[in-house]
Homo-oligomer: A and B are copies of this chain.
Amino acid sequence: MQFTAQDIAFILNGKVEGDPLIAVSQLAKIEEATPGSLTFLANPKYEQYLYTTNASIAIVNDSLELSGPVKATLIRVENAYSAFTVLLEKYNTYKLHKEGIEQPSFIHETAVLGENVYIGAFAYIGAGVKIGDNSKIYPHTYIGDNAGIGANTTLFANVKVYFDCVLGNNVTIHSGAVIGSDGFGFAPNADGTYTKIAQIGNVILEDDVEVGSNTTVDRATMGSTIIRKGAKLDNLIQIAHNVDIGSNTVIAAQTGISGSTKLAENVILGGQVGVVGHITIAKGTQVQAQSGISRTIKEENTKLAGSPAFAYSSNMRSNVVLQRLPELERRVIELEKIIAELRKAD
């Protein structure tokens, strides 16, 4: 699908400088763009690339004063970055457009689908499932019995939602994520074996939650594991049973949260962080990648690092000294020798 410079200028309410009929079919970074692509220049730091880019069209700020000749056709707008974001969004909506019900798919006779829903081939929609308007269920996605899916929600290929789980509106889940598998609960017996504790709760994902690929969110033993409005989870994250993740909390890849822990809103966890079970983490806490949180954090907006984690700035200083720890030990040995001599001399 191709757009001309004048088409794009019309959408963005911009002015064309150059060939209004030149056409593009893709978006690209200014330093990597090839002919047929559209780019943008917002940060003056990259202005040099404007004079060498192979892009056919470049969106620039109205205020930009050129310091040399430019091959690309320019579209001048008030804010080039915002304008480009608008195009990105339109491009993405176009690329991700899907509609209708592909065959073969499995839709239980008791399932209720909203308007304008996409169901990919090999998708499985269980008994009593409800799916809201404009939601997209990609191929190989499984929705267990009595689960509820809101409106404008996208489940990419091969998402697994176990029975009874509830997803809100504008939720996005990437391939391979598992919502509602059993919590890891086993009672030890005297002979060393374990008896499974039935996990009869569910998982609730509120509106605007995004879950990355192959992330796992376990159902609660009883009650619900909850990911609250606007929280964003990256790939390969483990959320254990009865965890409660606050609104607008962001968690990077490969982090794990143990059972019954509660994160407040606007927490930021780096990648590969581990959090023990049955604690609470205050609003605005920020944790560096690979840290381990082993106790409740009560004070808001604390920055932590290390495993076990302590104050971020202290951790930085300790890490520096850690590198010269053998030398420090040698210096202590040296002091001990000197002192021994001094005492002998006394």
Contacts and interface: CB of A to CB of B under 8 A. Distances in A.
A307 B290 contact: yes
B216 A213 contact: yes
Contacts of A335: 332, 335-336, 339
Given A174-B182, A232-B184, A254-B238, A321 B326 contact: yes
Contacts of A338: 339, 343
Interface residues of A, number: 106
A319 interface: yes
Interface in A163-193: 163-164, 172, 174-176, 178, 181-182, 184, 186, 192-193
Contact of A184 (B104, B212, B214, B256): B212
A236 B343 CA distance: 60
A346 interface: yes
25 contacts: A27-B200, A28-B222, A85-B197, A92-B198, A121-B124, A122-B140, A156-B160, A160-B176, A160-B213, A172-B182, A175-B178, A176-B216, A182-B212, A186-B210, A192-B247, A193-B230, A214-B214, A235-B238, A253-B258, A254-B254, A254-B274, A272-B274, A290-B292, A317-B326, A322-B322
